[in-house]
């Protein structure tokens, strides 16, 4: 029998060999120059891999993802170093930009770990399901969005800080390129080729599915919490074994007069359980009517949280942070949520900074599989920040001026009311500013069966400003308006440039079967990226196809239409 010392040495060498092997590409017939042709930046892609490397697309994808994860962790340490060494040398706006980057880097690392774990156990002969491939493509798309958000913030701060410009912004540019390579190779190697056809046209036209999750009522649901939930949500919970049950684990009440469990929303969020898997149902926070002057942040560990108010303009959450006052756009939000499977019902989210303070967000969602039902979002520039991941909005009211629905999530707004309002003098209204930066991101804004009418102050001004459907914030901006009503105040050209011819050939803007005098496409822009689309193309942007919503939305009890209107 070998000695313990010899055994440990042998084990160490074996593990070292395995580690080295995991860092190299498997032998195959494809050099990196061939694989990299499928990426947005082939020259940079080739620099990622050893010059003599050989492998198939999955070998390169694993290698790139592993390197992306290493860089993400390295970048986190870089941000920590700059924040630690601040000593009052950085401006407040620079510090806030770095803090945003720190939070975003933490999320990015999580996304990359999950992605790498998935691809690392997927052999060359094994394929991912449509929904699993969408999960990972969504995470990698969000990781790239996080990098871009950080870069946008530090570039703004870099004008007053040489340290940030050289120590943070420049390395981040290369990290962004690396993440783009990882996303491209995953899309090429793991995403099923017929993903968009997974749901047939016939399926996408079906009536809405039953909107309750099958399962028994949790034991924690007392008669009191049952009564409260039914009263708040205006829908009856079924008895056990009925098969139409929304699972709710517990309900707490926020009331400013002290008669509830908490007097502030932040206290209730803090008390919510951490890292739940949803098997016990939603933790419900009932926020009674009132004006709550709070900047609420719901962190990533507060999963399966449902917040229900007394109604639009009854339960109001309000703040006034803005870019002019030193906040970044990202952290100007009155309400910011990152936790997966978040649901909000019957609440108004408001930012009162006003048009003169420019970017001032009412709500920012970076929450995957998040739902907002019968809510209102009120501000001026940058009202609703659909930042990243997958989101759904139903029967909501959204008020704003410049780019008032913006971000880079995969998001569907359904049966919502969009209200452009009066901006500052010499400004114009742009309903959307979608921020897709990479052709492989599965993101975009889908506006389905919504109504676009002017807000009261815009009517009173006799329409002295122009209103457009959107403009391209980033190079691959993607937005569609489908089966929606557009009032006549929408400009006949429909869309507006961001800066000269930027993105006009790479964006994707579509309109399908809209109504109202503002929907006439005769005089629309003639950009290469603009399309009047048909029903087949439009079906790609429905709840079922764009969000895979049938697999996660039913548990919330929120109604939705899976496909196009019949």
User: In the structure, what pLDDT confidence band is assigned to residue 52 with cuts at 50, 70 and 90?
Assistant: confident
pLDDT digit string (tens) for 244-271? 567 888 899 999 999 999 999 999 999 9
Q: Report, as an integer, the average pLDDT of 8-31.
A: 45
- Residue by residue, DSSP assigns 227-278 as HHHHHHHSSPPPPTTSS----EEEEEEE-TTS-SSBSSHHHHHHHSPSS--S
Q: Report, as an integer, the average pLDDT of 539-551.
A: 96
Q: Report, as an integer, the average pLDDT of 337-365.
A: 97
Q: What is the pLDDT of residue 239?
A: 46
Q: Which residue has the higher pLDDT, 6 or 27?
A: 27
**Among 9-13, 204-208, 488-492, which is the least confidently predicted range?**
204-208
Question: Which of 418, 284, 409, 286 minimizes the C-alpha distance to 347?
Answer: 286
> Mean pLDDT, the chain, as a whole number?
86
Annotation says 403 is catalytic: yes
User: In the structure, what pLDDT confidence band is assigned to residue 419 with cuts at 50, 70 and 90?
Assistant: very high
pLDDT digit string (tens) for 492-504? 999 999 999 999 9
pLDDT digit string (tens) for 435-444? 999 999 999 9
Question: Which of 391, 326, 341, 324 minimizes the C-alpha distance to 363?
Answer: 391
**Has residue 6 got a pLDDT over 90?**
no
Q: Report, as an integer, the average pLDDT of 408-417.
A: 98
Report percent pLDDT > 90 for the chain: 71
User: H-helix or E-strand containing 72?
Assistant: helix 57-84
Q: What is the pLDDT of residue 224?
A: 53
Q: Which of 403, 438, 457, 501 is catalytic?
A: 403
**Among 168-182, 189-203, 261-275, 516-530, which is the least confidently predicted range?**
189-203
Residue 323 near residue 329 (C-beta atoms within 8 A): yes
Q: Which residue has the higher pLDDT, 476 or 23?
A: 476
Q: What is the pLDDT of residue 478?
A: 98
**Has residue 202 got a pLDDT over 50?**
no
**Has residue 541 got a pLDDT over 80?**
yes
The two tokens of residue 168 are 């943070």
Range 558-561, long-range pairs (CB < 8 A, 24+ positions): 558/211, 558/343, 558/345, 558/371, 558/373, 558/392, 558/394, 559/208, 559/211, 559/373, 559/394, 560/208, 560/211, 560/392, 560/394, 560/414, 561/208, 561/414, 561/415, 561/448, 561/449
Q: Which residue has the higher pLDDT, 142 or 231?
A: 142
**Has residue 88 got a pLDDT over 50?**
yes
Structural domains present in the chain:
44-190 (1.20.140.40), 215-362 (2.160.20.10), 388-553 (2.160.20.10)
**Has residue 207 got a pLDDT over 60?**
no
Q: What is the pLDDT of residue 280?
A: 86
Q: What is the pLDDT of residue 218?
A: 34
**Has residue 304 got a pLDDT over 60?**
yes
**Has residue 162 got a pLDDT over 80?**
no
CA distance 366 to 360: 17
CA distance 326 to 99: 13
Report percent pLDDT > 70 for the chain: 84
**Has residue 86 got a pLDDT over 80?**
no
Q: Report, as an integer, the average pLDDT of 561-565.
A: 96
Q: What is the pTM of this model?
A: 0.89
**Whole-Å CA distances, 283 to 158, 202, 308, 392:** 41, 36, 11, 19
pLDDT digit string (tens) for 377-392? 999 999 999 999 999 9
**Has residue 127 got a pLDDT over 70?**
yes
User: In the structure, what pLDDT confidence band is assigned to residue 232 with cuts at 50, 70 and 90?
Assistant: low
């Amino acid at each position: 029998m070998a000695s313990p010392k010899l055994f440990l040495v042998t084990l160490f060498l074996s593990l070292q060999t395995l580690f080295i092997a995991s860092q190299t590409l498997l032998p195959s017939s494809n050099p990196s120059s061939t694989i990299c042709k499928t990426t947005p930046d082939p020259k940079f892609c080739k620099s990622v891999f050893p010059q003599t490397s050989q492998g198939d697309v999955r070998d390169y994808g694993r290698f790139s993802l592993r390197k992306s994860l290493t860089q993400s962790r390295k970048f986190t340490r870089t941000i920590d170093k700059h924040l630690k060494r601040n000593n009052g040398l950085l401006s407040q706006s620079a510090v806030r930009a770095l803090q945003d980057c720190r939070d975003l880097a933490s999320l990015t690392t999580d996304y990359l770990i999950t992605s790498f774990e998935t691809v690392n156990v997927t052999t060359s002969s094994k394929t991912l399901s449509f929904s699993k491939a969408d999960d990972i493509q969504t995470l990698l798309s969000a990781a790239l969005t996080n990098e871009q958000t950080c870069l946008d913030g530090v570039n703004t701060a870099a004008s007053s800080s040489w340290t940030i410009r050289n120590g943070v912004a420049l390395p981040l540019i290369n990290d962004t390129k690396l993440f783009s390579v990882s996303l491209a190779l995953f899309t090429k190697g793991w995403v099923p080729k017929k993903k968009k056809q997974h749901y047939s046209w016939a399926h996408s036209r079906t009536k809405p599915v039953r909107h309750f999750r099958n399962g028994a009522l949790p034991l924690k649901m007392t008669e009191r919490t049952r009564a409260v939930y039914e009263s708040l949500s205006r829908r009856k919970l079924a008895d056990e074994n009925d098969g139409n049950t929304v699972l709710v684990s517990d309900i707490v009440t926020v009331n400013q007069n002290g008669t509830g469990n908490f007097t502030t929303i932040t206290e209730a969020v803090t008390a919510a359980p951490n890292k739940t898997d949803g098997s016990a149902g939603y933790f419900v926070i009932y926020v009674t009517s009132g004006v709550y002057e709070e900047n609420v942040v719901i962190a990533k560990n507060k999963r399966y949280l449902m917040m229900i108010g007394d109604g639009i303009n009854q339960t109001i959450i309000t703040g006034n942070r803005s870019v002019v006052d030193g906040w970044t756009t990202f952290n100007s939000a009155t309400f910011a949520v990152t936790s997966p499977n978040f649901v909000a019902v019957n609440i108004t989210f408001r930012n009162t900074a006003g048009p003169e303070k420019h970017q001032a967000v009412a709500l920012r969602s970076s929450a995957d599989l998040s739902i907002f039902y019968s809510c209102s979002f009120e501000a001026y520039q940058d009202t609703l920040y659909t930042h990243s991941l997958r989101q759904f909005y139903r029967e909501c009211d959204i008020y704003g001026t410049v780019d008032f629905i913006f971000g880079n999530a995969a998001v569907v707004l359904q049966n919502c009311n969009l209200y452009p309002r009066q901006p500052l003098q010499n400004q114009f209204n742009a309903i959307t500013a979608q921020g897709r930066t990479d052709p492989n991101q599965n993101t975009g804004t889908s506006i389905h069966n919504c109504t676009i009418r002017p807000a009261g102050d815009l009517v009173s001004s006799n329409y002295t400003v122009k209103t457009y459907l959107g403009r391209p914030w980033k190079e691959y901006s993607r937005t569609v308006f489908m089966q929606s009503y557009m009032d006549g105040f929408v400009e006949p050209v429909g869309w507006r440039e961001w800066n000269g011819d930027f993105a006009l050939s790479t964006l994707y803007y579509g309109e399908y079967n809209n109504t109202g005098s503002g929907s006439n496409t005769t005089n629309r822009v003639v950009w290469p990226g603009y399309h009047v689309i048909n029903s087949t193309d439009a079906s790609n942007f429905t709840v079922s196809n764009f969000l895979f919503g049938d697999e996660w939305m039913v548990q919330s009890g929120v109604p939705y239409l899976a496909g196009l209107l019949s």
